[in-house]
Structure 1
Amino acid sequence: MENKFKIRPSKAENASNTTTERAAPSGGSSVFSGIEKRLKLEYYFEEGFPVQYLPKITFVLVLAILYISNTHYAEKTVRDINAIQAEVEDMRADYTTLKADLMFASKQSEVARKVKDFGLKESLTPPYKIVVEKGEY
């Protein structure tokens, strides 16, 4: 004896078995009943739904869901990497620009020009080295 899920008997069989079972009301046409009619699922499962295949079907569905979620995660990671790379390029350009500005502003002629407003002048005598003899200090 196989383990199978039985489909309800048809309306003709229901009419003959009205004393034992009541037919489920088929009120209105729902989306699922329309799909069932178009796919003709009763034709494929005349003898009942093969329950022994449920674990395998469930396993394949879980694998499919994991595959899809992994693909979405990978695409999201690629988008994040691209956004971060663009941000790094912008920061590298800012760094290069600021470094060049700092190098220009720290030149002796630029410093002398900027401190002229404060009344400071550039010394014309070069600096000299002070030598302290050992034991003098």
Structure 2
Amino acid sequence: MSTNTFRKKIKSGNRPKGGPRKSVFTWIEEKLDITGLLGEGVPVQLVPPVGFVALLALIYIWSNHRAENMVRKIDKVQQEVEDLRADVTTLEAEYMLSSMQSEVAKKVAALEIYELNQPPIKIEIEK
């Protein structure tokens, strides 16, 4: 029967091919050398201020994102208003043209209704 033995720790430089893989956090820790800057562990006094600054940064990014979206929406609505204004102007011009007396006379000529050539006569009744 075999005996229990401890595994030998493998140094990061001499890792065999099939051995354990490094995680992203291990890679970041090695590259940034946080323990060299802060010592062994993070000071508890720094957690609330850093968390507050991170929260403020997130709020700042969120508000900028909302403001840019609002600007895009405003530009889109302004373009729609300009298009509608152009349509209204065109329709008003067509309406004014079609309501002219000469245009109305042309349209009702098909119904055999013609424009008078002489002024209307006033009928007076004596009592």
TM range (shorter): 0.7 to 0.9
Aligned to 2:28: 35
Distance 1:42 1:128, change over 3 A: farther
Letter in 1 for 2:106: R
Identify if the C-alpha distance between structure 1 residues 128 and 52 changes in structure 2 by more than 3 Å, giving closer, same or farther: farther
Q: Distance in 2 between matches of 1:61 and 1:130?
A: 92
Scaled by the length of structure 2, the TM-score of the pair is 0.76
Q: Is 1:55 paired with 2:20?
A: no
Instruction: State percent identity of aligned pairs.
Output: 47
Alpha-carbon offset, residue 127 of structure 1: 3.9
SS in 2 for 1:49: coil
1:110 aligns with 2:103: yes
Distance 1:34 1:89, change over 3 A: same
Residue by residue, what CA displacement relative to the aligned partner does 1:38-85 show, whole Å, maximum 9, x if unpaired? 001121232421111111111111100000000001101111111111
Post-superposition offset of 1:129: 6.5
- Structure 1 residue runs of 4 or more that deviate by more than 6 Å after TM superposition: none
Q: CA deviation at 1:27?
A: 3.7
Superposed CA deviations along residues 106-125 of structure 1, whole A, max 9, x for unmatched, are: 00000000111111111233
TM-score when normalising by structure 1: 0.71
RCO comparison, higher one (Cα < 8 Å, 6+): 1
The answer to whether the aligner puts 1:90 opposite 2:78 as a matched pair is no
Map 1:1-137 → 2, pairs under 5 A: 27-127=20-120
Taking the aligned partners of 2:65 and 2:30, their CA distance within structure 1 comes to 34
Q: CA RMSD in A?
A: 2.4
User: Does 42-51 or 53-62 show the bigger shift?
Assistant: 42-51
In structure 1, runs of 5+ residues without a counterpart are: 1-10, 12-25
